[in-house]
Amino acid sequence: MTKEEKYKLVNELTEVLKQHPNFMVLDTGGMSVEKINRFRRACFQSKLKVQVVKNTLLKKALQNFGDNYEAVYPVLKQNTTVVFANENLAEPAKVLKDFRKEDEMPRFKAAFIENSFYYGESNLDAVASIKSKQEVLGEVISLLQSPISNLLGALQSSGGTIHGLLKTIEEKNQ
CATH architecture of 3-130: 2-Layer Sandwich (3.30)
Quickly state the pLDDT bin for 124 (edges 50, 70, 90): confident
Amino acid 156: pLDDT: 62
Residue 115 scores a pLDDT above 60: yes
Neighbours of 61 (CB within 10 A): 21
Per-residue pLDDT reduced to its tens digit, 77-114: 888 888 888 777 788 888 888 888 877 788 888 888 87
Name the packing angle between helices 55-65 and 3-19 (round to 10°). 50
C-alpha R_g of the chain: 26
Quickly state the pLDDT bin for 147 (edges 50, 70, 90): low
Per-residue pLDDT reduced to its tens digit, 48-80: 888 888 888 888 888 887 767 787 888 888 888
Cβ burial of 42 (10 Å; 0-12, 13-18, 19+) is: middle
Alpha helices, DSSP H, located in 70-132? 91-99, 124-128
Domain edges within the chain: 3-130, 131-174
Of 55 and 166, the one with more pLDDT: 55
Amino acid 158: pLDDT: 54
Per-residue pLDDT reduced to its tens digit, 20-56: 888 888 888 888 888 888 888 888 888 888 888 888 8
Amino acid 146: pLDDT: 65
Whether pTM > 0.85 for this model: the answer is no
3-state SS string for 19-74: HCCCEEEEECCCCCHHHHHHHHHHHHHCCCEEEEECHHHHHHHHHHHCCCCHHHHH
Amino acid 161: pLDDT: 63
Of 123 and 45, the one with more pLDDT: 45
